[in-house]
Amino acid sequence: MNVLAIDTSTTKLVVGVCARTTDTVTVLADVSVTDSRHHNELLTPLVQQALVAAGGDFSLLDAVVVGEGPGPFTGLRVGMASAQAFADALSIPVYGVMSLDALAAEVATVHPEAASGRLVVATDARRHEVYVAAYDNGDRVAGPDVVKPEELSGEYSAADIVCVPEALAEKVATTGTRVQVEVTPASLVAVADWDSKPHPLRPHYLRRPDAAEPKQKPKSKAIPDVQL
The confidence score (pLDDT) of residue 211 equals: 44
Put simply, whether the predicted model's pTM sits higher than 0.75 gets the answer yes
The residue extents of the domains of the chain are 2-98+184-191, 112-179
Conformational region of residue 131, where left means phi above 0, alpha means psi within -120 to 50, and beta covers everything else: beta
pLDDT tens digits, one per residue of 121-173: 999 998 889 999 999 999 999 999 999 999 888 899 889 999 999 888 888 88
Q: Within 13 A of 198's CA, how many CA atoms are on the CB side?
A: 18
Q: C-alpha angle 24/26/29, rounded to 5°?
A: 160
The confidence score (pLDDT) of residue 223 equals: 45
Pairing of strands 118-126, 129-136: antiparallel
User: How does the average pLDDT of the chain come out, rounded?
Assistant: 90
The confidence score (pLDDT) of residue 139 equals: 96
The confidence score (pLDDT) of residue 225 equals: 46
Q: What is the mean pLDDT of residues 55-71?
A: 97
The confidence score (pLDDT) of residue 218 equals: 52
pLDDT tens digits, one per residue of 180-215: 999 999 999 999 999 999 999 999 998 755 444 445
For the chain, percent of residues with pLDDT exceeding 70: 90
Q: Within 13 A of 42's CA, how many CA atoms are on the CB side?
A: 18
Nearest by Cα to 85 from 101, 61, 69: 61
Contact by Cβ (8 Å): 79, 42: no
Helix, strand, coil percentages for the chain (3-state, nearest 5): 30, 30, 40
Classify domain 2-98+184-191 by CATH number: 3.30.420.40
Instruction: Give the integer Cα–Cα distance in Å for 102 and 190.
Output: 8
Contact by Cβ (8 Å): 34, 9: no
DSSP state of 70: S
Phi, psi of 162 (to 5 degrees): -120, 115
